[in-house]
Structure 1
Amino acid sequence: MNEVIGGYTLRRLLGRGGMGEVHLASTPTGGLAALKVIHPTLARDPAFRRRFEREVAAARRVARFCTAPVLDAGIDGDVAYLVTEYVKGPDLAQAVNEQGPLSGGNLEALAVGIATALSAIHGAGVIHRDLKPSNVLLSPLGPRVIDFGIAQLVENDSLASQAILGTPAFMAPEQVRGEPLTPAADVFAWGGVIAFAGTGRLPFGGGAPGEVLYRITQEEPRLDGLDDGIRQVVERALAKDPRVRPTAQRLLADLVGGTRLATATEVVERTWTGSPTAHPRPAPDLRPAPDPRPVPDSRPVPGMPPASGISPAVLAPEPEPRPKRRRWPWAAGAAGLALAVAVAAAVTVPALSQESWPYEADFGDSWELGSSEGGSARQAGSGYELTVKPGWRLWKSAPRQEPEGGVIVSAKATLAEGTGEYGVWCHGSASSGDRYEFGVSGSGKVTIVKRRTGTRGTTLYGPADAQSAAVNRVVAECGESGGKVTLRMWLNERLVAEASDADAPYGPGESGVHAASGATASARVRFDSFALRPAGK
């Protein structure tokens, strides 16, 4: 049986690092995520726990531009875990090693995408500190920067100066010297990553880590092979003095001519996927770039700090890549999607039986329609609309009983008119009015409420702020364990609320959707989807 951590089912190992393991995991809502399990020896350290919580809070503030956003995190006994969006695709180191260097529009899109990610990271007060090719994933929609595992808050200079963290080939000179860091260290790493991507070589060569670090502090990078335009930007990013390097925002402006941040990501996605709306770009040059630099020996270099002050794991050298001729499908996103649709259309899907899961509504299968004292329910195209009179609440049952044990209920909904709240409910009964309601308001507040018809209900969580959108996907879990019901709520794939009920908790029954209006005006809520399935499946 697969291991479950924090409600996420581990499916397979994606990789290992100094801080722990990364697994592909199934989310309680049925999606995929990357779950990083922190090494138990670190998770047991109270100082690390405090730092972990602080770094997670900082990472949550990072905008999603070209990053893998943090979805969830927690500490369960000796297990600390961090859940991020799963990005399907190779990392940049693997792609360059197998495909060869990038050029033209692909290299420009990569440069813009990583600069955009750094703008978002720095805007949240975070320094990545370990930007390198293996921390850049190449998704079908463009590059995604991952792994803030050793990121520190910008203001936390004292901690930053106590240890040298990072990967030698992409460290900034001030990082090599163990000085307090600023976002300029990430800009230097950006220059190194783009130089590597465009030439297939490490900008300061390979060899013993001590020698690489010496070259970073004393020598100029080797950038021959880069196009002139991108080379000038990379040279400024690799300046020895952090004070003269451009900011991430300046990098972005230099690359896209001042295009605002959100639009920059669209530029990346159009270029990366080869969309017909993008300007034609030359194909990448796949020829391996020669490296005449002699292989250095391992003799100590005068003037370098002793390597004993740096963690052996940190000093593990990254070998010089040897580009191969095998072609990597850089722009396979659109073609792959078309192929998937064609294959799906050719497959005959058996009809949904009464016992099959998940149950997915088309809102034409016996959902209640018509008017009542509190409002009306109607089928609107493929959706379901509830119009609620001022001061009223409507809740409608799905025509399917919940399975025994835990259940996951989800719906995609829009507050089309008025003010109020809406969402899903579970463990309910049409006859008694018992139910657990999971709601989001038009102002972005989320709540979990235990209700019974004719009462105001008991608030188990909230109201609390959450990042809502015009169209919201609300997912709720009701799970039984040890005589209580555990309740969790996700909004747009982010865990936003948790509660439990041990006071005569409700058991499996019915589930559905609900909507409520404000005191003075009607509300109209449209539900575009509804699904019900057993928890853990």
Structure 2
Amino acid sequence: MSDRVIGGYALRRVLGRGGMGEVHLAATPTGGLAAVKVIHPRLARDPAFRRRFEREVAAARRVARFCTAPVLDAGIDGDVAYLVTEYVKGPDLARAVRDQGPLSGGNLEALAVGIATALSAIHGAGVIHRDLKPSNVLLSPLGPRVIDFGIAQLVGSDTSQAILGTPAFMAPEQARGETVGPFTDVFAWGGVIAFAGTGRSPFGGGSPGEVLNRVVNERPRLDGLDDGVRGLVEQALAKDPRARPPVSRLLADLLGGPPTSPASATEAVERTWTTPLTRPPSPPHLPPAPPSSGSPASPQASPTSRGAVPYGDVSGAAGGSPALRGAPERTGAAAEGGDAVPYGGSAVSAQGAPASQGGGAVPYGGSVVSAQGGPDSQGAVGGARKKGRGGAQWRWWVGGLVAVVVGVAVAGGVLRGEAWPYESGFADGWEVGASEAGTAEKDGSGYVLAVEDGWRLWKSAPRREPGGGVVVSAKAELREGAGEYGVWCHGGSGGRYEFGVSGAGRVAIVKRRTGQEGVVLYGPEKAASEGTNRVVAECAGGDGEVTLRMWLNDRLVAEATDAEAPLGPGMAGVHAAPEAGKAVRVRFESFALRPARG
């Protein structure tokens, strides 16, 4: 393991090597993860390269993050030039196809949408990728992410250097040394999708000269490519740049409707993405993020939970709340005899008040909340089931949700025959009502949690998690007050994993167990937040270990591993909690569940 530090980034291990230098997994100054491309010294010493580097990096930083790995930082220190991008956990497309074979059906179509969305963001910033190829498409748990946009320009624009790149995915005008533009990337898009769907380059193999000759003069070989994308790929691979569709038309045709925004297209992909197909090697265990002043580390932290500290400040994981400090819920005798809260009700427990214990299960659709930050019995297991809301084809998400109501059979609490993804309009069994802790209510197509001072409130989705791993997502806005909110997963009578963000933009992953203090597995750490935030969480793993990841507005902001009595699949939902002395009101615009793959 390297201990080299560049620009404040501690390099941990090499992720890959290329003609321009090496890419390293690195720890950021705040304890997060990033990918750092260290440029070869022979290039970094060249004054012309330095000028191009500054120009191209400035342009790349303008690229929106939709289906891309955004550029976070860059600099030149002596003979070392470096470029920092978001770390994307997942294999590249070339490796996935090599290891598992071609993509087809919904996965291939989602890949096509994702890469086209990335090109839309790249071109919107005035940047041309110039080197789109399978190894520059990473398959993250949320969908494809395009990397290295504009980087090819850094090594110059002479034809020989371009040809020495990846001839199989270069457009005819690029091979001839002519002017390139967005249409050049559209040609590469066609080649990449053809490769993904067939497992081979549309212009075959051989020497660079042989391949480029076929690129310029011969028709692409597309036999075996799915009919759903073949027509668009043929158009994208037209020899004449003027005959190729612009990226906006690619997206409109793929999504089956009028032109849509990159944000909507990105969400459409993320809700239905079921790759990566190949699990990459686990990154090294990095030191935990430095604890904030609101959540000091403790020597009692679990050594097998990365960055784990006892949860001494509930809202401190997202902003600080002394009133909720360090008081686990007492379990009492009120429910010892098996008292159950009726369907649609809520069980609440204040600090020191009796709480549900043992057979005191809350029927499906109910909710248990506890004050003073204590973990508690999960109101998301057992009880009667209602019909779930099924998943729609991925291309329908942008034009509006097409709900498919599916019948479900229950056997031992396991749902059978449910369609994925599950996307909620909050009208299909989400609990509404008021209690001492606060209220849960419908608000148009949204769902509002209003929580009183000193309480923590969470609600279960009316759909059990799929077997294996799960990806949970919600879009929410803090409307009034101050506090934290987010999603949770792997909930049951034993506890849950919470993923929270505060109004101040601090993120944390917390494990809560019945009758115990919460344990912070990550954070609290500052992250780039917005007025309305999209929180995405992944809970996956097996063999005695659960991997937890959190994205905020499509950026990976937190990662942790729990190997000490990890929680298993159960229920998922949303949560909110105020800061001390305040109340909080959070509106959730959307909620989705889907299986995690990889």
| TM-score, with structure 2 as normaliser | 0.49
8 Å CA contact 2:130, 2:150 repeated in 1: no
Distance 1:109 1:469 in 2: 26
Distance 1:352 1:25 in 2: 24
* Runs ≥4 residues deviating over 6 A: 356-360, 383-388, 491-494, 523-527
SS of the equivalent of 1:74 reads strand
SS of the equivalent of 1:128 reads coil
Other-structure match for 2:222: 223
Find out whether 1:470 has 2:469 as its counterpart: no
Residue type of the partner of 1:242? P
Find out whether 1:362 has 2:362 as its counterpart: no
> Which of 273, 281, 300 in structure 2 is aligned with 1:351?
300
Deviation (angstroms), 1:221? 0.4
- Deviation per residue, 1:450-496 (Å, 9 max, x gap): xxxxxxxxxxxxxxxx97512789xxxxxxxxxxxxxxxxx9999xx
Other-structure match for 1:335: none
Other-structure match for 2:79: 78
1:61-460 equivalences under 5 Å are: 61-148=62-149, 150-152=151-153, 160=157, 164-165=161-162, 166-257=165-256, 258=258, 260=260, 261-273=262-274, 328=277, 351-352=300-301, 361-362=313-314, 367=322, 381=455, 413-414=502-503
SS of the equivalent of 1:14 reads strand
SS of the equivalent of 2:151 reads coil
Question: Quick one: structure 1 residues 268 and 223, their matched pair in 2 at CA, closer, same or farther if it must change by over 3 Å?
Answer: same
Distance 1:366 1:237 in 2: 55
Residue type of the partner of 1:351? Q
Deviation (angstroms), 1:34? 0.7
Question: Quick one: structure 1 residues 381 and 133, their matched pair in 2 at CA, closer, same or farther if it must change by over 3 Å?
Answer: same
Residue type of the partner of 2:85? T
Distance 1:50 1:412 in 2: 39
8 Å CA contact 1:413, 1:471 repeated in 2: no
1:16-27 equivalences under 5 Å are: 16-27=17-28
Deviation (angstroms), 1:100? 0.8
Deviation (angstroms), 1:367? 3.5
Deviation (angstroms), 1:386? 12
Question: Quick one: structure 1 residues 363 and 90, their matched pair in 2 at CA, closer, same or farther if it must change by over 3 Å?
Answer: closer
Question: Quick one: structure 1 residues 240 and 25, their matched pair in 2 at CA, closer, same or farther if it must change by over 3 Å?
Answer: same
Q: How many residues align?
A: 331
Other-structure match for 1:375: none
Deviation (angstroms), 1:362? 2.6
SS of the equivalent of 2:238 reads coil
Question: Quick one: structure 1 residues 492 and 2, their matched pair in 2 at CA, closer, same or farther if it must change by over 3 Å?
Answer: farther
8 Å CA contact 2:91, 2:278 repeated in 1: no
Question: Quick one: structure 1 residues 129 and 107, their matched pair in 2 at CA, closer, same or farther if it must change by over 3 Å?
Answer: same
Distance 1:19 1:246 in 2: 32
- Deviation per residue, 1:94-116 (Å, 9 max, x gap): 11111111111111111111011
Residue type of the partner of 2:138? L
Deviation (angstroms), 1:74? 1.3
Residue type of the partner of 1:414? G
Question: Quick one: structure 1 residues 82 and 368, their matched pair in 2 at CA, closer, same or farther if it must change by over 3 Å?
Answer: same
Other-structure match for 1:531: none
Distance 1:363 1:222 in 2: 58
Other-structure match for 1:5: 6
Residue type of the partner of 1:226? L
8 Å CA contact 1:20, 1:38 repeated in 2: yes
Question: Quick one: structure 1 residues 387 and 116, their matched pair in 2 at CA, closer, same or farther if it must change by over 3 Å?
Answer: closer
- Deviation per residue, 1:204-244 (Å, 9 max, x gap): 11011100000110110001111223111000000001111
8 Å CA contact 2:313, 2:321 repeated in 1: no
Distance 2:273 2:321 in 1: 45
Deviation (angstroms), 1:141? 1.0
Question: Quick one: structure 1 residues 57 and 363, their matched pair in 2 at CA, closer, same or farther if it must change by over 3 Å?
Answer: same
Q: Structure 2 regions of 5+ residues with no counterpart? A: 280-297, 303-307, 325-451, 458-477, 483-499, 507-525, 535-551, 556-578, 587-598
| TM-score, with structure 1 as normaliser | 0.55
1:440-519 equivalences under 5 Å are: 469-470=530-531
Question: Quick one: structure 1 residues 151 and 134, their matched pair in 2 at CA, closer, same or farther if it must change by over 3 Å?
Answer: same
Question: Quick one: structure 1 residues 493 and 29, their matched pair in 2 at CA, closer, same or farther if it must change by over 3 Å?
Answer: farther
Distance 2:224 2:533 in 1: 47
SS of the equivalent of 2:99 reads helix
Distance 1:48 1:139 in 2: 31
Larger Cα-atom Rg: 1
- Deviation per residue, 1:359-399 (Å, 9 max, x gap): 86335899489xxxxxxxx96546999989xxxxxxxxxxx
- Deviation per residue, 1:483-521 (Å, 9 max, x gap): xxxxxxxx9999xxxxxxxxxxxxxxxxxxxx9xxxxxx
Question: Quick one: structure 1 residues 468 and 222, their matched pair in 2 at CA, closer, same or farther if it must change by over 3 Å?
Answer: same
8 Å CA contact 1:161, 1:179 repeated in 2: no
Deviation (angstroms), 1:167? 1.2
Distance 1:197 1:190 in 2: 11
Distance 2:183 2:191 in 1: 13
Alignment RMSD, CA only? 4.0
Deviation (angstroms), 1:266? 1.8
Distance 1:235 1:492 in 2: 34
8 Å CA contact 2:159, 2:174 repeated in 1: no
Question: Quick one: structure 1 residues 526 and 30, their matched pair in 2 at CA, closer, same or farther if it must change by over 3 Å?
Answer: farther
Other-structure match for 1:29: 30
Distance 2:73 2:67 in 1: 18
Question: Quick one: structure 1 residues 128 and 358, their matched pair in 2 at CA, closer, same or farther if it must change by over 3 Å?
Answer: farther
Residue type of the partner of 2:194? A
Distance 1:493 1:220 in 2: 38
Distance 1:387 1:139 in 2: 35
8 Å CA contact 1:127, 1:151 repeated in 2: no
Distance 2:148 2:203 in 1: 23
Other-structure match for 1:512: none
Distance 1:366 1:212 in 2: 63
Question: Quick one: structure 1 residues 270 and 524, their matched pair in 2 at CA, closer, same or farther if it must change by over 3 Å?
Answer: closer
Q: Structure 1 regions of 5+ residues with no counterpart? A: 154-158, 275-326, 331-348, 370-377, 389-410, 416-421, 424-445, 447-465, 474-490, 495-514, 516-522, 528-537
Residue type of the partner of 1:202? S
Question: Quick one: structure 1 residues 492 and 97, their matched pair in 2 at CA, closer, same or farther if it must change by over 3 Å?
Answer: closer
Other-structure match for 1:52: 53
Deviation (angstroms), 1:262? 1.7
Distance 1:46 1:38 in 2: 14
Other-structure match for 1:407: none
Deviation (angstroms), 1:151? 4.7
Deviation (angstroms), 1:50? 1.5
Deviation (angstroms), 1:19? 0.6
Residue type of the partner of 1:361? D
SS of the equivalent of 2:205 reads coil
Q: State the identity %.
A: 72
Residue type of the partner of 2:196? A
Residue type of the partner of 1:207? G
Question: Quick one: structure 1 residues 380 and 81, their matched pair in 2 at CA, closer, same or farther if it must change by over 3 Å?
Answer: farther
